[in-house]
Structure 1
């Protein structure tokens, strides 16, 4: 079992973040990342939205740090922890753009990139970026095929329904032989997509019982990760509940657990990470 953290500060959804995060910056985030890295947590995350409509931000939030900039900085202050986009929206990017930009991150971090990828659902943002919304699932599947053929290769080649390229040099490129692709979603189709194109599935917004039902009896590929959220935990104030939350998603089929941390400040967040590590006894 590996445990990663849903990074504070970088994403601020109403009701899902603490007040101290509003004024926190890269120094606080770097302190938390260093603590998680030293303890042995598996990964930290950063999500992606370019521009959220003001009325939508009331529910989804409007603060989303750019993952490449944020994770690039955090890679420089950590040594082991993996850097996970959770998630990039495939339709916003050409596959070779992702291969180049995030391949560079993989290079400078010493091979610690995890690419979390999703189809996307915010139609207004697609329109703003002049990205096709209709048929985005089929386009995302083709993008995943193109990415799998391109990451870790100096001269990638791919010939698909939406993406077709050959004869170009992408340098630098990822140093991992096979960058992990974690596919986000909440439907059986997203799980099938993850099994077909990726090395992991990152569902969201589903109750644990439903997750267990979707995973139950399904034969998954070897070394395929199921990344489930244990929600927000308070390992110092409610240690037994924190352990139960982690155990519950593990029993539902998780191979990697993501947690949010209740904290009053960056310093308290680091103390909470130490308490969680002591409770779970996990190694990253």
Structure 2
């Protein structure tokens, strides 16, 4: 069973983040990333918001570490675990800017980047950054096509509805010949975008019934990742509930489970990771 972790500290959502995260720093994040790396977890994450409007903090929180800086630092302290953005907001960047930043990260990490992208959800942030809100979905589709043309090609060219470029050189570029792109979101359109243009879907805020219904309406391509989150897990304190949630998402169609962990300290978090890995390995030995 493939497990990723929704990295603590670097994003602190009210009602989800643990109290210890408020005073934690990069050394704590590195400790967690190294533990996850050694235990065989699939990826760590980092999200993007440039500047959260003051009236949006109650539900979203205000702590969002920059994903390029954060994941580059973690790359230097790990060797195998992948580095996933969850997510980069496409409308805030030109595709070539994303290709340069994450192509460089892919190069320095030895080919470990997963580019999670999304259309965006905070209109005020779009306005603040002079990004276009009404057509963000169409622009996201075009940006993904432009990224596919440019992430792994040092001499990219593209002629789309919103983005056009040729006769340019982008060095360094990604070392992965086909860098995975996952789409975040919670709508049928986000799933359609993921299936048609990308390599995976990582929804949020959807129950198992809604997920099962949405997934049943599309033909999932071979090798396509469905990345689902079970909510905060407590494998040491409540292994039965943890196992039940993992099985339920596996049965819905998850190929990777994006795990949030209940913990009282960084030490407790690492112990929880080890317990979660053992629990998932035992589930893998069961008959489906």
Query: Which of the five TM-score ranges fits, normalised by the shorter chain?
Result: over 0.9
Counterpart of 1:205 in 2: which secondary structure? coil
Map 1:191-210 → 2, pairs under 5 A: 191-210=191-210
Residue 35 of structure 2 is matched in structure 1 by 35
CA distance in 2, matches of 1:175, 1:154: 10
CA distance in 2, matches of 1:41, 1:59: 28
CA distance in 2, matches of 1:147, 1:116: 12
What is the CA RMSD across the aligned residues, in angstroms? 1.0
Map 1:99-248 → 2, pairs under 5 A: 99-216=99-216, 218-248=218-248
After TM superposition, the score normalised by the length of structure 1 is: 0.98
Counterpart of 1:170 in 2: which secondary structure? coil
CA distance in 2, matches of 1:279, 1:58: 34
Moved more, 216-225 or 149-158: 216-225
Alignment gaps of 5+ in structure 1: none
CA distance in 1, matches of 2:155, 2:254: 36
CA distance in 2, matches of 1:209, 1:44: 27
Q: Once the 2 structures are TM-superposed, how far is the Cα of residue 218 of structure 1 from its aligned partner?
A: 3.0
CA distance in 2, matches of 1:25, 1:54: 23
Sort the Cα spacing of 1:93 and 1:116 in 2 relative to 1 into closer, same or farther, 3 A.
same
Residue 25 of structure 1 is matched in structure 2 by 25
Residue 254 of structure 2 is matched in structure 1 by 254
Give the length in aligned residue pairs: 283
Counterpart of 2:229 in 1: which secondary structure? strand
Q: Once the 2 structures are TM-superposed, how far is the Cα of residue 217 of structure 1 from its aligned partner?
A: 5.6
Residue 92 of structure 2 is matched in structure 1 by 92
Alignment gaps of 5+ in structure 2: none
Residue 16 of structure 2 is matched in structure 1 by 16
Q: Give CA-to-partner distance per residue, 1:186-218, whole Å, 9 cap, x none.
A: 111111100111000011111011101111263
Map 1:12-91 → 2, pairs under 5 A: 12-91=12-91
Sort the Cα spacing of 1:137 and 1:217 in 2 relative to 1 into closer, same or farther, 3 A.
closer
CA distance in 2, matches of 1:45, 1:243: 22
- After TM superposition, where is structure 1 displaced by more than 4 Å over at least 4 residues in a row? none
CA distance in 2, matches of 1:258, 1:65: 19
